[in-house]
Structures are given as structure tokens and as C-alpha cells.
Amino acid sequence: MATTRREFLKTAGITLVASGTVMAGLSKVEGQSRSPVRIKGATIVAGVVKGEALVSSQPISFTGGMDPKTGIIRERGHAIMGQSVAGKILVFPQGKGSTTGSWQYWIAYKKGKAPIGLINVKAEGIVTCSAVITNTPMIHLLERNPLEFIRTGDIVTINGDEGWIEVIPA
């Protein structure tokens, strides 16, 4: 039996955040329903966008790792190899690889094959530059690790104007 307020809320799938406000969390237990969640983060590129999430637990290289003509991840052995980032909210730890990745991202953007929004655990320069030059809404440094609660297929809103994301489970 839950004895503290925090334990009681946890059993109900609710997280008590530092400010004392209550926020519904997404259950990690398979088979249980998950609730919508809103999490604060740090904006890199402002803007509001909503779409289907494509989640990778691995860093992504836009140079060689993504075909800029199709938006398909082509890096051998990658967690989302063969899947297209086009029109998705792309969620991944951070970028990797060459500085030409921003150029490859730009090509994908001009061909309509780039993500419509980016969420990183912690951004680095290549992905940040990619988002800035294409004005793609981007957020990072969320209050919770996005890889722990966003799943491929979830509907995600990035509100870079106000610095939060919202996740509606698929």
C-alpha cells in the first residue's frame, strides 16, 4: 500500500515534478494504457509543429546515414535503418558524423524529405545547424529523457515558442 503522496501518485502513473505540480506520466508497463504528457525543454529553434514520432535510441548521421533524396535511414545496423524521417518528428539522442550533415539535411529539406521537427536528448552542432538553416522546430534538454517515454507512432507536438513538447500515445 502506498504510504506517501509521491508513492500514491506513482501507482496511478502520475509524476510529482520539482515545482510541486502534478503531471501525468506514460506507463512503462506493456499492456497498460498510457496517458498524454507535456514536458518542458530548452528550445533551439522556435515554432510549433505536430506529427508522428520516429524514435531512434542511436545517434544519427545525416552524412551517409540518411539518403537526402528519400529521407530513408541507410546506415547499416542502425535502429531505424530502412525507415523514412520525411514528415516525422524525429526523436534521437544526438547527431554524429561530419559537418557536411547539415548540407545533407538541407538537401532533404528542399526535397520535402526531412523531418518536420527534431527532439534530442542533448543537441550538438551539426543537428542544431541543420534545424537553424531549415527553420525546423527543435527542442532538447527535456525534464525527462524523451527516449524513455516517446515511442514510434506517438503523436508529438513541439512547441518551441513556449519550450515544451506534448506526447499523445499511439
Of all residues in the chain, the percent with pLDDT exceeding 70 is: 81
> Which of the following is catalytic: 33, 84, 98, 130?
98
Give CA–CA dist 160/119, Å, rounded.
10
Domain ranges of the chain: 34-168
Q: What is the pLDDT of residue 11?
A: 46
Q: Residue 44's closest CA among 159, 167, 168?
A: 159
How many helical (H) and strand (E) elements, i.e. helices and strands, does the chain have? 3, 10
The dihedrals phi and psi of 109, each to the nearest 5 degrees, come to -60, -45
* Protein fold of 34-168: Glucose Oxidase; domain 1 (3.50.30)
What is the pLDDT confidence band of residue 154, given thresholds at 50, 70 and 90? very high
Average pLDDT, integer, range 10-36: 47
What is the pLDDT confidence band of residue 7, given thresholds at 50, 70 and 90? low
Q: Is 98 a catalytic residue?
A: yes
Ramachandran quadrant class, 80 (left: phi over 0; alpha: psi -120 to 50; beta: rest): alpha
Q: Provide the angle, in degrees to the nearest 10, between the axes of the packed helices 101-110 and 125-134.
A: 30
* Residue-wise pLDDT tens digits, 69-93: 999 999 999 999 999 999 999 999 9
